[in-house]
Chain A
Amino acid sequence: MLSYFFKRLGLAAAIVSVAMFLLFCMIYLIPGDPASVALGPRATEEMRAALREKMGLNQPVLVQFWNFYIGAWTGDLGDEVLSGRPVTTVVFEQLPYTLALIVGGITWSVALGIPLGCWAAVSRGSWADRIVGILSVAVIAVPSFVIAIYALLIFSVELRWLPAIGAGEPGDLGDQLRHLILPSLAVGLGWVGYIARMVRASMLEVLEASHIRTARAFGLPDRTITYRYALSIAILPTVTLLGVGIGQMLSSAVFAEIVFARPGVGKLVYDAILTRNFPIVTGTVLITTVLFVLLNLLADLIIGALDPRVRSNF
């Protein structure tokens, strides 16, 4: 387990390093230099030169990359253009809102996806199974921002059941949760489909297994067999699925934050683009990427701990 842990950790570090290199290449190879992007078209040549100096854009490319690389590993992603605050601080202020949204999305997807998948597997081949199958495909297909807008339109604007804007009063947990319902539904609905399909497939596999047959032979009630013995094994692949899914949920969260005017990383980047606050954009991309890689690592480690076969095949 320990050697698997270190190998997997090394791979994650390599992926993050390459991702940083790619991000650096993108910034410096694409036409348009960050100083002009930050200052906008009306800046004078002197202002541009001064900012270039300050951002270290006059140094040789390799030195710039080295500084960027070392800075990133030590948590220094530069300062914001307007206020001069460290980018890391600004991003970490917003991150909890986005994480809450993603946890909400996971809650929706697990709470709906596992029972639906289980139900479909138990009633295999029936009309219920078919409907769950079609619904799963449908919610996967439709982009999350369309779901977000229609959720806003139906539940906030027309029915007025739930609030449309913001993250709720600070300190008032109930209010914050009420503000979380719709955005997290938009984030998680697509994953209801993925999880339902995954649980259905692995349930069908597990229900054929010999220990389930033995349990049947012992005359245990169907209910106990399905929920206690089969489901507890069949939901394991969901962990990996969620590890991969968090990256996509992060993308959906950007839209959900903009549609519901919630604070968060997505809103931060979007506003940074409009104000050309370039260090914020790259900083957020990097931090969310590292987060994504770490969560994938975590999912792999959990699976590795639960299933020895994964460890030996790595």
Chain B
Amino acid sequence: MSEAIFNPAPGRLAELWRPIRKILREPLGALGLFLVLLVIFGAVFADLLTGWDPTKINPRDRFQGPNPTHLMGTDQLGRDLFARVLYGGRIALFVALVSTGVSLVIGIILGLIAGYGPRWLDNLLILLFDAMKSFPTVMLALALVTLMGPSLTAVMVVIVLVTVPGYARIIRTQTIALKTSEYVTAAQSMGASSARILRLHILPNVIGPLVILASMDIPVVIGIEAGMSFLGLGVRPPTPSWGSILNDGFTNIRDTAWIAIAGGVPIIITTLGFTFLGETLRDVFDPRLKGR
């Protein structure tokens, strides 16, 4: 009787809580989750956490080190670095979320087509994926940006082009494995259309590993955005991005180290956080992916 009271049936909240508890049990996973939440918190509540405008120029206060007024100091134009870092986090997370989302959708569609479609289409798509992967990322990005002009859109197009082949390939492999399974044959014999089979019977079974892979790709994606912005090919000034702050730090590296520190540390924290979290997610939920 008392057991029933102390162990209520698992509700929705408990369902949600269980994976989080699994992650927290791993020290590295807990650290990763903490870092990720820290970055998200800073980006979401940027306007509450600082009173400074990240684009406000104030030449008299330039090149300050960290102090009570400017927590991370100021850059070569006297802009508050803490504010720029917080608002830069918004750009990084926005680009990561949108481009990973688009890339997942395209990757899933192409992967299902390659895995379930006719053999010649499969071969063609595989060749296309291999060719896409054979471009060195930064070279491809540089070529695209030259043509499209520097913008956040160009950066996102690059990210999608770089990440889609990987997602499509894993979906394809899993689809091929499931294509001949008994329950799919059963659905086929009952006259289900290919679209229905793919949507109801195959997709739910192949999507798990993909989500984990995508979460492990987020640091790469954030790295591409920061890298492009570092080269001056991403966001346009004066919009703050971690990459452009790092570029300011690089240009003025002989005057002060604080700008480079302010630009680089958030990139390190975010990529480490997402990587630790992603690795733990993988180990906890899908050990088969280990070594990828």
Name A197-247 residues within 8 Å CB distance of B. Answer: 201, 247
Across the interface, do A281 and B146 meet the contact criterion of CB distance under 8 Å? yes
Please give me the residue from chain A that is nearest to B249 by CB atom: A149
Give the most central of B128, B130, B136, B250: most A CB within 10 Å.
B136
Q: Does the CB pair B146–A145 fall under 8 Å?
A: no
Supposing A158-B257, A278-B146 touch, asked if A285 and B267 sit within 8 A by C-beta, the answer is: no
Indicate whether A285 sits within 8 Å of B28 (C-beta atoms), given known contacts A30-B147, A141-B275, A258-B231. Answer: no
A126 to chain B, nearest CB (A): 16
Indicate which residue in B137, B142, B253, B271 contacts A270 across the interface (CB closer than 8 Å). B142
Of A16-24, A55-63, A298-306, the one touching chain B = A16-24
Inter-chain contact A23/B143, CB cutoff 8 Å: yes
Of the residues A14, A19, A143, A201, contact of B227 by C-beta under 8 Å = A143
Q: Which residues of B are found within 8 Å of A64, using beta-carbon distances?
A: none
Question: Is B226 on the interface with A (CB-CB < 8 A)?
Answer: yes
Per a CB cutoff under 8 Å, which of B136, B246, B257, B272 touches A247? B136
Residues 110 to 143 of chain A near chain B (Cβ within 8 Å): 134, 137-138, 140-143
Interface residue ranges of A134-161 to B (CB < 8 Å): 134, 137-138, 140-143, 145-146, 149-150, 152-153, 157-158
A207 to B291, CA, bound (A): 18
Does any Cβ of B come within 8 Å of A43's Cβ? no
Question: By CB atoms of chain B within 10 A, which of A26, A134, A281, A285 has the most?
Answer: A285
**A176: B residues at CB distance < 8 A:** none
A106 beta carbon closer than 8 Å to chain B:
no
Interface string of B110-142 (1 = CB under 8 A from A): 000000000000000001101110111111101
A13–B207 Cα gap in the complex (Å)?
A: 33
Q: Tell me whether B131 and A22 are in contact (CB under 8 A).
A: yes
Q: Please state if A269 and B267 are interface contacts (CB–CB under 8 Å).
A: no
A143 close to B267 (CB less than 8 A) = yes
Interchain Cβ contacts within 8 Å, total number: 138
A281's contact among B143, B226, B227, B254, by CB below 8 Å, is which?
B143
Chain B interface size, as a band, is: 35 or more
A276 within 8 A of B: yes
Contact across chains for A15 and B139 when beta carbons are under 8 A apart: no
The one of B135, B137, B148 in contact with A30, judged by C-beta atoms closer than 8 angstroms, is B148
Contacts of A273 in B (CB 8 A): 142, 145-146, 233
For B75, the chain A residues whose CB sits under 8 A away are: none
Q: How far is the CA of A199 from the CA of B264 in the complex (A)?
A: 30
Q: Tell me if B136 and A32 are in contact (CB < 8 A).
A: no
Contacts of B130 in A (CB 8 A): 15, 18
Whole-angstrom distance from the CB of B234 to the nearest CB of chain A?
Answer: 12
- Among residues 1 to 51 in chain A, which have CB atoms less than 8 Å away from a CB atom of chain B? 14-16, 18-19, 21-23, 26-27, 30-32, 37
CA distance A152 to B279 in the complex (A): 30
A293 close to chain B: CB less than 8 A: yes
Q: Tell me which of A21, A27, A247 contacts B134 (CB under 8 A).
A: A247
| Chain A residues within an 8 Å CB radius of B267 | 142-143, 146
A27, A145, A201, A259 pick with most chain B CB within 10 angstroms: A145
A134 touches B127 (CB 8 A): no
Query: Is there contact, CB below 8 Å, between B253 and A22?
Result: no
Assess whether B149 is interfacial by the CB under 8 Å rule: yes
CA distance A146 to B279 in the complex (A): 22
Q: Roughly how many angstroms separate A145 CA and B244 CA in the complex, as a whole number?
A: 12
Please judge, given known A-B contacts A23-B143, A141-B219, A149-B246, whether A266 and B127 are in contact too, CB under 8 Å: no
Taking CB as reference atom, which chain A residue is nearest B140? A285
A107 within 8 A of B: no
Q: Find out whether the CB atom of B146 lies under 8 angstroms from the CB atom of A157.
A: no
Q: How far is the CB of A146 from chain B (nearest CB, A)?
A: 5
A284 within 8 A of B: yes
* Interface residue from B127, B135, B257, B268 paired with A146 (Cβ < 8 Å): B268
Would you call A254 and B138 a contact (CB within 8 A)?
yes
Q: Does A89 contact B (CB under 8 A)?
A: no
A153 to B263, CA, bound (A): 13
Check if B223 is an interface residue, CB within 8 A of chain A: yes
> How distant is the Cα of A15 from the Cα of B128 in the complex, in angstroms?
8
User: What is the bound-complex CA distance between A266 and B137, given in angstroms?
Assistant: 12
Q: Which of A153-173 contact B (CB under 8 A)?
A: 153, 157-158
The smallest C-beta distance from B121 to any residue of chain A, in angstroms, reads 15
CB contacts (< 8 Å) of B250 on chain A: these are: 149, 152, 259
A255 at the B interface (CB under 8 A): yes
Which of A23, A145, A288 has a CB less than 8 Å from the CB of B230? Answer: A145
- Choose among A22, A30, A250 the residue that contacts B139 (Cβ–Cβ < 8 A): A250
Could you pull out 18 A-B pairs where Cβ atoms are within 8 angstroms? A22-B128, A22-B131, A23-B143, A26-B147, A30-B147, A137-B279, A140-B275, A141-B274, A143-B226, A145-B246, A149-B246, A149-B264, A247-B137, A248-B137, A255-B227, A255-B231, A273-B233, A278-B146
Q: A149-B264, A152-B250, A289-B139 are in contact. List 16 more A-B contacts (CB 8 A).
A: A14-B127, A15-B127, A16-B134, A26-B147, A143-B223, A146-B268, A149-B246, A149-B250, A150-B260, A157-B253, A250-B136, A278-B146, A281-B146, A288-B139, A292-B134, A296-B134
User: A residues near B, CB below 8 A?
Assistant: 14-16, 18-19, 21-23, 26-27, 30-32, 37, 134, 137-138, 140-143, 145-146, 149-150, 152-153, 157-158, 201, 247-248, 250-252, 254-255, 258-259, 266, 269-270, 273, 276, 278, 281-282, 284-285, 288-289, 292-293, 296
* 10 residue pairs, one from A and one from B, having the closest CB atoms: A18-B131, A143-B223, A251-B138, A141-B275, A19-B131, A250-B136, A141-B271, A30-B147, A254-B138, A285-B139
